Amino acid sequence: MSLLTCIKDVWEFNRTRTLATLDEIAKQPDPTAVLGWRPGPGRAHICWQLMHIGVTEELFATERLFGKPPTFTELIPRFKGGSTPDDNILKVDQIYEVLNASRQHLLDGLPQLTEVDLNRIPESGLLKDRGWTFARALQIINWHEAHHQGQAHITFNLWKNRA
């Protein structure tokens, strides 16, 4: 099995966990209230965690890996790394849309990479600035979703057990 196939399989598994969390939230009487709940003052809500997964993946799927302009340009400043979560909570359907589209953009771009490319650092951009090979970038996408899905999941559990 090639590394690209393996990474793609892991991404698929990770996304099932992310969508399972969103599916459970969608079943709640007021999903928007759940998505906007914060575990403490100044902490990120679930909407931000899930949208951050989608927006970050979109940035990798476009400009960071393949030099293309990203979609969801109005959402990127709100949910990219370093942004401050606001109180404008998106609907469940909007979150599904971003997660599904950003994943599709990533999968559409993946065939542009070969096993040889994986050991190469791009000639410009964020990956070059950080000294990341294409393989490292693909691994980070994998870790990033699991990290933020875990944060969304624990925040949802805290919401379910709030006093």
pTM: 0.96
109 φ, ψ (degrees, to nearest 5) = -80, -25
What pLDDT score does 3 carry?
A: 87
pLDDT of 1 over the 80 cut: no
Q: Measure Cα distances from 22 to 28, 133, 136, 152, 154 in Å.
A: 10, 32, 28, 9, 13
What pLDDT score does 139 carry?
A: 95
Question: Class of 3-160 per CATH?
Answer: mainly alpha
End-to-end CA distance of the chain: 49
How far is the C-alpha of 66 from the C-alpha of 141, rounded, in Å? 14
What pLDDT score does 56 carry?
A: 98
Model pLDDT for residues 99-133, shown as the tens digit of each residue: 999 999 999 999 999 999 999 999 889 999 999 99
How far is the C-alpha of 154 from the C-alpha of 21, rounded, in Å? 10
Closest by Cα among 128, 143, 139, 11 to 64: 128
In which band, very low, low, confident or very high, does the pLDDT at 163 lie, cut at 50, 70 and 90? low
Residue 83, token pair as written in the block: 């942004």
Closest by Cα among 4, 36, 12, 14 to 110: 4
Model pLDDT for residues 60-107, shown as the tens digit of each residue: 999 999 999 999 999 999 999 999 999 999 999 999 999 999 999 999
Residues 6+ apart with CB under 8 A from 107: 8
Model pLDDT for residues 12-60, shown as the tens digit of each residue: 999 999 999 999 999 999 999 999 999 999 999 999 999 999 999 999 9
CA–chain centroid gap for 162, Å, is 26
